[in-house]
Amino acid sequence: MQYIKAKFPNSTRSYVYRTEDSVKASDMVVNAKGAKLTVTDETVDMKWVETYGADKVAVVKKCEESEVAHE
């Protein structure tokens, strides 16, 4: 499980998410509600994750190319 920062389109603020997929900056990920986000290259403050609780961090998965092509 890795922790990443991602942001919604047209947003300037990044949020912390966790994922089991291998992702890098500029990859598209999708959250549980189906919203697409873009992975940023910002570093995650693990102290924040420990304080907030790892189980409270939303999970995202890598958006497959076929999902992007259908838009």
Q: For 21-59, write each residue's pLDDT tens digit.
A: 999 999 999 999 999 999 999 999 999 999 999 999 999
Model confidence pLDDT, tens digit, residues 39-49: 999 999 999 99
- pTM equals 0.84
The CA dihedral of 60, 66, 70, 71, to the nearest 10 degrees, is 40
Distance CA 48, CA 59 (A): 16
